[in-house]
Structure 1
Amino acid sequence: MYHDSSLIDLSESRIKWTSSANDLLILFIDRRYKTNSASEYTRHGLSRRIQALVHSTDRVFATISPSSEESPTEEIRHDAEAFIQSFLVNVYGAIDNMARIWCVETDLRNAKGVPISDGMIGFGPKNVRVRESLPDELREYLINCDPWFAYLENYRHAVAHRIPVYIPPGTLTDQEAEEYRHIEDEIGKAVRERNLELNGKLTAEQKALGTFKPLMMHSYGENARPVMIHGQMISDLATVVEIGEYLLKALPNP
């Protein structure tokens, strides 16, 4: 799973960033806003999402402990997958909430003087008008996060529209991968022949292949990049917190 030094880093980072997330939540709620919309996005959008991020992080770490050397059951993996999907959607939503707070508080408009449309609101690379309106410090931070935005959109859009998050029961060597594909073909034949007994036997053989690693991915056919669950969740939470901290400094006084 993880080396001892990595386990210490994960534990310390998790404590640091969940605590920072809770502190950020309080700062956003305590702030006075110029518009009712910004207050709404904060109190009923961003604050709920930050709480959900902290809760999902805690639940995944409890469900699949980084220090465990045992392969989790299918039920445990499904529980973790559900929390991770909630986490990804709320990471994306938290960034969107912050972008909306910025747009309504600054009355951001397009080149024609019309309030910027919902489809143009965001902090990602495609949200050019919003990024142009930001102070240099925040804009530069977001530009440095462009690879992270690419990862986030890849996973969030897959979860929302195409393929859900999957935690493989095992990581395969090249030889095991070949055996996995062979068994997959045999399972297909057993299903077509309505041979339930053989299907069950082959499925059990397939599940026994590989060594468990705490990875997540979505589609095998979309060139999805597998990522380590625990470290990625901490990184995602930290990025949300840091964007929020920059935004608080950038927002105009009410």
Structure 2
Amino acid sequence: MGYSEEQIAQFQEEYAKVSQGLQDLMLKTIVAGQESEHAGVKEHLLHGAARRLSTLKRCLENIFVNFPPTTVKPLQRDVLYDVQINLHAYVMNLYGIFDNWAWSFILRHDLLQKVGGKHGVGLFRESTTKHLAKPIHDYLVSDTITNWHEKYLKSYRDALAHRIPLYIPPAEFTKEESERYGQLEGEKINLIKGMEWQRLDELYKEQENIGRPSFVFLHSYEEEPPKPVLFHPQLLCDGLAIVEFGTLFVEHWGEAA
């Protein structure tokens, strides 16, 4: 099912907001890193957080160019693979940037021993959060952010890193379309065995024009049915969360409880 005109207009507005927000936050992060005299803090802000922010921004741009919400036909295979590659980079950097922020805070305030060493460093670990300034602490322990991190970000990052990579179904079909797609799929083996490459290409092209694009992504079935996530709104929500928290962090990371 495609998006409504109202949804598409909203996505475009939020996309511009997220893209600009990531750019502004990257510049603030660079300034904070340059102003620090601690080598470790510099590394985590300049080569960690700032680099991840620029990667997040570019991934979002690539995705919206190659797979705009206005798409009406299934993506070609190579385009779909490129979109998935950008999705993978997006999710990994979403997850990783919180570690860069955590380390920059811990190192700035010389708290490594107090949190129990490197394994106690983490913005979602109580050993670290108890030292954060109240605005940062309250944001991180809110139900909204806790649920987002535990039920979505950590789950999908762990699947990507350790189990089944995130993927976007190539298309959505009606019953008739599904049957025709399967019929063509069954013909491919004989064409490959007979080395009938021209006919094989024709089958691939016909398949690419069957159905509608799928606007969800998911990872594995594991022990329960998969939980598809709406693609564009989720990525925009993720980006807004990073901009919102990152701005709060840069404003208050000089304070410690």
TM-score tier by shorter-chain length is: 0.7 to 0.9
Equivalent AA in structure 1 for residue 190 of structure 2 = E
Determine the structure 1 residue equivalent to 2:248. 246
Distance in 1, Cα, partners of 2:162 & 2:245: 26
Q: Following TM superposition, by how much is the alpha carbon of 1:170 offset from its aligned partner in structure 2, in angstroms?
A: 2.4
Q: Deviations over 1:51-70 (max 9, x none)?
A: 00000000000111111211
Determine the structure 1 residue equivalent to 2:146. 146
Determine the structure 1 residue equivalent to 2:190. 197
CA contact (8 A) 2:115 2:121 kept: no
Distance in 1, Cα, partners of 2:115 & 2:229: 38
Change in Cα spacing, 1:152 to 1:199, as seen in structure 2 (3 Å) is: farther
The reply to whether residue 85 of structure 1 matches residue 88 of structure 2 is yes
Change in Cα spacing, 1:172 to 1:139, as seen in structure 2 (3 Å) is: farther
Instruction: Work out which of the residue numbers 29, 39, 43 in structure 2 matches 1:40.
Output: 43
Q: Deviations over 1:114-172 (max 9, x none)?
A: 56433322222xx1111111122212211220111020111111111111111101236
Q: Secondary structure at the match of 2:141?
A: helix
User: What count of residue pairs does the alignment treat as equivalent?
Assistant: 237
Q: Following TM superposition, by how much is the alpha carbon of 1:103 offset from its aligned partner in structure 2, in angstroms?
A: 1.1
Distance in 2, Cα, partners of 1:101 & 1:83: 26
Q: How high is the TM-score relative to the length of structure 1?
A: 0.82
CA contact (8 A) 1:34 1:105 kept: no
Q: Deviations over 1:228-250 (max 9, x none)?
A: 22111111111111111111122
CA contact (8 A) 1:102 1:251 kept: yes
Q: Deviations over 1:77-118 (max 9, x none)?
A: 111000100111111111111111111112224xxx556433
CA contact (8 A) 2:52 2:93 kept: yes
Equivalent AA in structure 2 for residue 65 of structure 1 = P
Determine the structure 2 residue equivalent to 1:122. 122
Distance in 1, Cα, partners of 2:244 & 2:119: 24
Matches within 5 A, 1:119-198: 119-124=119-124, 127-144=125-142, 145-150=145-150, 151-171=152-172, 196-197=189-190
CA contact (8 A) 2:173 2:210 kept: yes
When the two chains are superposed, the root-mean-square deviation of aligned CA atoms in Å is: 3.0
Change in Cα spacing, 1:137 to 1:84, as seen in structure 2 (3 Å) is: same
Change in Cα spacing, 1:85 to 1:41, as seen in structure 2 (3 Å) is: same
CA contact (8 A) 1:107 1:115 kept: no
Q: Which runs of 5+ in 1 are unaligned?
A: none
Distance in 1, Cα, partners of 2:133 & 2:234: 28
CA contact (8 A) 2:40 2:107 kept: yes
Q: Following TM superposition, by how much is the alpha carbon of 1:199 offset from its aligned partner in structure 2, in angstroms?
A: 9.0
Distance in 1, Cα, partners of 2:222 & 2:173: 17
CA contact (8 A) 2:73 2:212 kept: no
Q: Percent identity?
A: 26
